[in-house]
Structure 1
Amino acid sequence: MKAFVATGNPAESVRRIEVQEPVQRPDEALVKVDAYSVNRGETFQLEGPPREGWRPGKDVAGLVVQAAPDGSGPQVGQRVVGHPPAAGWAEYVAVPAGGLAVLPSSVSAVQAAALPLAGLTALRLLRTAGSVAGRRILLTGASGGVGHYFTELAAAAGASVTAVSASAERGERLGELGAAAVVREVGDAQGAFDVVLESTGGKNLPVALSRLAPRGQLVWFGQASREPVELNFFDFFAGPLSATVRHFSYADSDGPDAPDLQTLVRLVAEGRLHPEIGLTADWGLTAQVLDDLRQRRIRGNAVLTLS
């Protein structure tokens, strides 16, 4: 079968080659991939692959062609969305049954492929924020898939979301999804906020912290700027007295991904969650799309399709 592998060459980070078809473990289903999503964070992984033989790809949608040998999960012929640990940019991928959710006919493979990483992150961020009804939330780096999903979910739950987006077009869309306010810079946000969700790092995190209300919570879940943070803890006395700063990882979950994936699929099917597809292209263009992601030429999710 054909699959993309990491090259270790910044000029061409991936190459499509022939590889062996996956060998299923007892709890894995074999999925014929119809579409997959690429995320900006994966471009960072390609710069330094985590292990020998690793292949990229964590967001897929397709058809189960072999069910898990242990009988768990979706069965042959069912359309699914999946979140494998790796190797999804391929014609076939073995996915743990606990990382698969069945798709209704109303949800397309392109929509579904845009859900796993960004959608799971947004859904679990919302849980981390706690009861958000009536609370003010500041969200930095809101132009991407996580930002769009979180804004729509939080606004529907009764939160007042201020989203930070440098793009006027993306800002307008965030407003349509329920953001109470959209600002171009973190410093333009009018606090104080009960919760700050910070994903850019660098100089923005201390500014975001200064917008936090006393006893509020700042949740750090990314560092898109790739710049280190310098934080003066005396700044807590200037406003966010007794505030909490915590780290969040979407992978820190108590159980399998399938229930949360099924929730995301249900919300899309009911018209209550809208995947933001910034680009759809043939999977042969994966290397070019990755470069576009690095250069921030794509807003929302980028989805590659297999014929």
Structure 2
Amino acid sequence: MKAMTATGRTSPAVGLATVDQPRPRPDEVLVKVEAYSVNRGETFQLEAPRPDWRPGKDIAGLVVQAAADGSGPAVGRRVVGHPPAGGWAEYVAVPTDSLAELPDEVSCLTAAALPLAGLTALRLLRVAGAVAGRRILITGASGGVGHYFVELAAAAGAEITAVSGSAERGSRLLELGAARVVHAVADADGLFDVVLESTGGPNLPVALAKLAPRGTLVWFGQASREPVTLNFFDFFTGPESATIRHFHYADADVTYGEDLSTLVRLVAAGRLHPEVGVVAEWTETAEVLDRLRGRGIRGNAVLTVA
């Protein structure tokens, strides 16, 4: 079969190659991929790829081989999945607890934009707790995670300030329910009960200063790729007794499949709207990755497999 493999170079970061078709384990199904999405974090992994690794964690397609242990969807079912790797390919093996079936009203193109960004946003919302009436600041809100989180949290009653460097992207966040959009963390009108920080570098201490006493800062990314320096005594000038919590979306008490089913149900009901900024054929993956690395895409980028 054909699959995208890492070149070990910055550009093009991937190229089409012929590889062996995967042999599913007993608890895995084989999916014929119809669409996949790419994430900015994957561009970092492609800079120093492992020899045995192939990229791809967000896919949607058709089950062509059911799981031998009897779990999961039957042959012919349309699904969205979050495999450990290897999804940028014609076929991928996916654990049955990392899949959700798709109803007729949700296309594979839309569904492919859900897994990583949607799972992260949904699980961030759980970490934030009961958000009705609470003030939340989210940085780096222009990407897929920010779009999903704003819509989910606004629907749950949160008052959200989103940080977006782009006026165009900021207008979309307002449409999704953000109370206000600012173009720099320093411009946010604090204090906030919860701060969700994804950029790191000099932005994190600025975001921390916007936190109310005994509030919580959830550190879920470091898109700037710059280290963070914090001063213990800065806590006494505002966020006294605050909590800083590390977040990794994979650390959860429910399976990917359960949360994907929730996301699919919300999309089907018109309560969640994936933001697909780019749709292209999968032969254009390298070019799309370049745009993603340069922050040239709003929301998610989806590639279709012929």
TM-score of the alignment, normalized to the shorter chain, above 0.5 = yes
Map of 1:20 onto structure 2: 20
| Amino acid of the structure 2 residue aligned with 1:259 | E
For residues 2-39 of structure 1, the C-alpha deviation after alignment (integer angstroms, 9 at most, x for no partner) is: 00011111122111011110011000000000000000
Map of 1:294 onto structure 2: 293
8 Å contact 2:30–2:64 — kept in the other structure?
A: yes
For residues 95-131 of structure 1, the C-alpha deviation after alignment (integer angstroms, 9 at most, x for no partner) is: 0000000000100111100000000000000000010
CA distance in 2, matches of 1:253, 1:110: 26
For residues 35-78 of structure 1, the C-alpha deviation after alignment (integer angstroms, 9 at most, x for no partner) is: 000000000000112x3210000000000000111010111000
Map of 1:213 onto structure 2: 212
Map of 1:157 onto structure 2: 156
For residues 201-254 of structure 1, the C-alpha deviation after alignment (integer angstroms, 9 at most, x for no partner) is: 000000000000000000000000111111111110000011000100001012
Q: Following TM superposition, by how much is the alpha carbon of 1:92 offset from its aligned partner in structure 2, in angstroms?
A: 0.2
Residue correspondence of structure 1 range 133-172 to structure 2 within 5 A: 133-172=132-171
Map of 2:91 onto structure 1: 92
For residues 175-214 of structure 1, the C-alpha deviation after alignment (integer angstroms, 9 at most, x for no partner) is: 0000001000000000000000000000000000000000
Map of 1:35 onto structure 2: 35
8 Å contact 2:11–2:286 — kept in the other structure?
A: no
8 Å contact 2:201–2:227 — kept in the other structure?
A: yes
Residue correspondence of structure 1 range 246-265 to structure 2 within 5 A: 246-265=245-264
Secondary structure at the aligned position of 2:36 is classed as strand
CA distance in 2, matches of 1:61, 1:12: 24
CA distance in 1, matches of 2:129, 2:247: 13
CA distance in 2, matches of 1:55, 1:84: 11
CA distance in 1, matches of 2:287, 2:12: 9
| Amino acid of the structure 2 residue aligned with 1:255 | V
| Amino acid of the structure 2 residue aligned with 1:210 | A
Map of 1:46 onto structure 2: 46
The answer for unaligned runs of 5 or more in structure 2 is none
| Amino acid of the structure 2 residue aligned with 1:127 | R
CA distance in 1, matches of 2:140, 2:292: 14
CA distance in 2, matches of 1:48, 1:250: 22
CA distance in 2, matches of 1:304, 1:22: 20
4+ residue segments displaced more than 2 Å: none
CA distance in 1, matches of 2:15, 2:176: 37
Q: Is the counterpart of residue 127 in structure 1 residue 121 in structure 2? A: no
CA distance in 2, matches of 1:11, 1:94: 28
Map of 1:243 onto structure 2: 242
For residues 144-172 of structure 1, the C-alpha deviation after alignment (integer angstroms, 9 at most, x for no partner) is: 00000000000000000000001101100
8 Å contact 2:38–2:301 — kept in the other structure?
A: yes
Secondary structure at the aligned position of 1:107 is classed as coil
The answer for unaligned runs of 5 or more in structure 1 is none
Q: Following TM superposition, by how much is the alpha carbon of 1:286 offset from its aligned partner in structure 2, in angstroms?
A: 0.3
Residue correspondence of structure 1 range 159-198 to structure 2 within 5 A: 159-198=158-197
Aligned residues: 306
Q: Give the structure-2-normalised TM-score.
A: 0.99
Map of 2:229 onto structure 1: 230
CA distance in 2, matches of 1:88, 1:266: 23
Q: Following TM superposition, by how much is the alpha carbon of 1:283 offset from its aligned partner in structure 2, in angstroms?
A: 0.3
Q: Give the structure-1-normalised TM-score.
A: 0.99
8 Å contact 2:197–2:218 — kept in the other structure?
A: yes
CA distance in 2, matches of 1:198, 1:278: 23
Map of 1:282 onto structure 2: 281
Secondary structure at the aligned position of 2:13 is classed as strand
